[in-house]
Chain A
Amino acid sequence: MNLLIKNGRVIDPSQGLDEIADVLVEAGLVKEIGKNLKAPAGVETVDAAGKYVVPGLVDMHVHLRDPGLEYKEDIVSGTRAAAAGGFTSLACMPNTKPAIDNKAVVSYIINKATTDGFCNVFPVGCITYGMGGERMAEMGELKEAGCVAVSDDGRPVANAELMRRALEYARGIGILVISHAEDLALVGEGVMNEGFTSTELGLKGIPRVAEDIATARDVMLAEYTNSPLHIAHVSTKGSVRIIREAKARGVKVTCETAPHYFTLTDDAVRGYDTNAKMNPPLREADDVAAVKEGLRDGTIDCIATDHAPHHLDEKDVEFNAALNGIIGLETSLPLSLKLVGDGILTINQLIEKMSCNPSKILGISRGSLRVGGVADVTVIDPAAEWTVETEKLVSKSRNTPFAGWKMKGAAACTIRGGAVVFSR
């Protein structure tokens, strides 16, 4: 399909582009960017006046639950939700059933996403077989099959020697290691952040230092092995500080946070709301401030959703019994745009963190509107006002703490490979 996206504010930090212009898409590629482009015959026009036209958003941390847990989400529903949220690409984490630790599962995901999906899916393989933390997975084969990174996300690689070797081996293969930084001994039976709220609610706390220590360990291992490392879902001021200092020393470390970590505090758990139960847990106000500062000063490279769908039955239980995680694909963009409204990031910086940087870190050819490149484009309406109504969400699951929230900003149109996969 050919498209002419007219009169939008075209923002592409990868090219230093920020101007009112038209974008012409032909044969799935960006054909031309310029003012007053004429639509060739038969070309559909998208009116983007008053809107941002940006490289398709990339979410580098999503749980698609397919294969094995399709009752929560599957590749079709997850990618449809992603498109509705403005994402054209996502990286899916390997804690499926079976886990993404072999070529067959990788091929299944890529094939299903290609034939039935609404956005590009880049699988993340396991660091260890079955995420068991015992033996390194076949990273070479995983990469060859199409994995863009390895991670045991959901659990840390507890054995420091194994993590060291994984970093070294992955460097040789040329695949990124994504760390789920958490010291399980310190987590114990904790179910929320340890602090005043956990004291008052009588819930077992997870101390912030459980994340900080694991972040520090993995950063030190990355430094020692001279290997690239990406820290997932940073939530504490300690982790932000450790990563900032490591970057200043030249360690090849990058990191991400998620919208809930700069939007909510552990106060959201009050009322024992299981939709505020996640891992890492929601932290305190000074952590939220540190995460925002980390985003502002560039310590935090990316905003990912950690979209973690769960069935109603897995959340509608006593707090301790509820599974961790919330969905995020459809709320990420407005929550992140608030950073722009609050003066923490410019819109250009936000697009860097939601498109350019994750593409660069994962080594995928996305995150840019360069002429000749794949036409993955998101048209954002920053003024769109809407309310999160859970029954209208596209994801199969409904586990969000943002139900009923009034949002500002939304994807007006999501274009993947030149085809409109979502429009509002």
Chain B
Amino acid sequence: MAEFKHRNIIALRDLTREDMELLLATAENMREINSRDIKKVPTLRGKTIVNLFYEASTRTRTSFEIAAKRLSADTVNISPSTSSATKGETLADTALNLLAMKPDIIVMRHAVSGAHYHLAQKVTCSVVNAGDGAHEHPSQGLLDLLTIRDRFGRLDGLKVAIVGDITHSRVARSDIQGLTKMGSHIYLAGPPTMMPPAVEKLGNVTVCATMREAIQDADVVIMLRIQQERQGKTLMPNAREYSRYFGLNPENLKLAKPGAMVMHPGPINRGVEMSSYVVNGSQSHVLKQVENGVAVRMAMLYHVCGGELV
């Protein structure tokens, strides 16, 4: 098996295709653990993982915690309301204080893009990104890759539509980085107010004028959450109009290839990004994404610890 040479996982942009192949292959192996009666292996016994979540999160934090515990690592959860950040401590000082307690990995979510690079310069332990601002969400990107590969057996040559608020989406950036490196072609759609400049330069990316164009004959349709807390008041008239032009429903889903996958990073605003018929429908892989999330995060924690078995 190839060697994983990164101490940190901060962005899929920093990983090669081979790095991602290795993580996905490991995640496939980890999946077996998750289906056992006793879902625990001693792989990371004696390791300490700090989940440092400066932003609200349920599924990602829980998923990382379950992943760590299934590998027998000890986990500590820190959130803003209980951390010294409320007393004005800088991220760097928080990190140095945590480091003094000798953790092996800090898993962090932070509202500022690039905060993990800042953290990684300060600490000697591994840093794993659980989402930074509008930059990247590499574990989500990898679990999306794994879920798509489960369905098609490959990632190259697929048409993947990503619809919604691309500008503010760290999921979109990680998906674009991951999928284009693996040979997929990305088609983006969303209101022009939510489409960042020159996004097509990120890789094999086409910006579409309409949602129809993006999802026409798509193998995969990834719908993004409208992040109402980030929108301000100038990016769209209201949720109703957004839903009409950029919402996925059984009718426009027919434009995609028969049996096309529908995905969403969650949490879903039902009736806005996707109708409940689609969310609950046979083409939805939303819960499969969540399931794969644990395996992918186990693989990430395993490899940043050096990939050594206890």
Contacts and interface: CB of A to CB of B under 8 A. Distances in A.
B77 to A, nearest CB: 21
Interface string A169-200: 00000000000000000001000001110111
Nearest to B198: A196
Interface in A303-321: 313, 316-321
Interface string B178-208: 0000000000000000001111011000000
Contacts of A202: 113-114, 132-136, 170, 173
A200 B90 CA distance: 25
B118 interface: yes
Given A317-B118, A321-B112, A203 B134 contact: yes
A194 B136 contact: no
Interface residues of A, number: 21
A195 B90 CA distance: 29
A141 B53 CA distance: 53
B113 A201 contact: yes
Contact of A320 (B112, B167, B196): B112
A354 B198 CA distance: 36
Contacts of B111: 320
A203 B114 contact: yes
Contact of A195 (B92, B110, B198, B232): B198
B91 A317 contact: yes
B91 A319 contact: no
Interface range on chain B (Cβ under 8 Å from partner): 20 to 34
Nearest to A192: B113
A198 B132 CA distance: 14
A198 B134 CA distance: 10
A317 B112 CA distance: 10
A319 B112 contact: yes
A194 B198 CA distance: 10
Nearest to A319: B114
Interface in B99-122: 110-115, 117-118
Interface in A266-317: 271-272, 313, 316-317
Given A202-B113, A272-B113, A317 B90 contact: yes
Given A202-B136, A317-B92, A272 B118 contact: yes
A194 B115 contact: no
B61 interface: no
Nearest to A189: B232
Contacts of B115: 318-319
Contacts of B199: 196, 199
B183 to A, nearest CB: 20
Contacts of B202: 199-200
Contact of B197 (A201, A205, A318): A205
A204 interface: yes
Nearest to A272: B114
Interface string A313-335: 10011111100000000000000
B90 A198 contact: no
Interface in B68-106: 90-92
B114 A318 contact: yes
Interface in B194-245: 196-199, 201-202, 232
Contact of B118 (A196, A198, A318): A318
Contacts of A198: 196-197
A82 B262 CA distance: 61
B167 to A, nearest CB: 8
Nearest to B137: A202
A321 B119 CA distance: 14
Contacts of A204: 134
A148 to B, nearest CB: 39
A319 B113 contact: yes
Contacts of B232: 188
A195 B196 CA distance: 8
A91 to B, nearest CB: 34
Nearest to B121: A316
B55 to A, nearest CB: 13
A199 B198 contact: yes
A203 B167 CA distance: 9
B112 A318 contact: yes
B270 to A, nearest CB: 27
The 5 closest A-B pairs by CB, nearest first: A202-B135, A272-B114, A196-B198, A202-B134, A199-B196
Interface of A: 188, 194-196, 198-205, 271-272, 313, 316-321
Given A194-B197, A199-B196, 9 more contacts: A201-B113, A202-B113, A202-B132, A202-B173, A203-B135, A204-B134, A272-B118, A319-B112, A321-B112
21 contacts: A195-B197, A195-B198, A196-B199, A198-B197, A200-B173, A202-B132, A202-B134, A202-B135, A202-B173, A203-B113, A203-B114, A203-B134, A272-B114, A317-B90, A317-B91, A317-B118, A318-B110, A318-B114, A319-B113, A320-B111, A320-B133
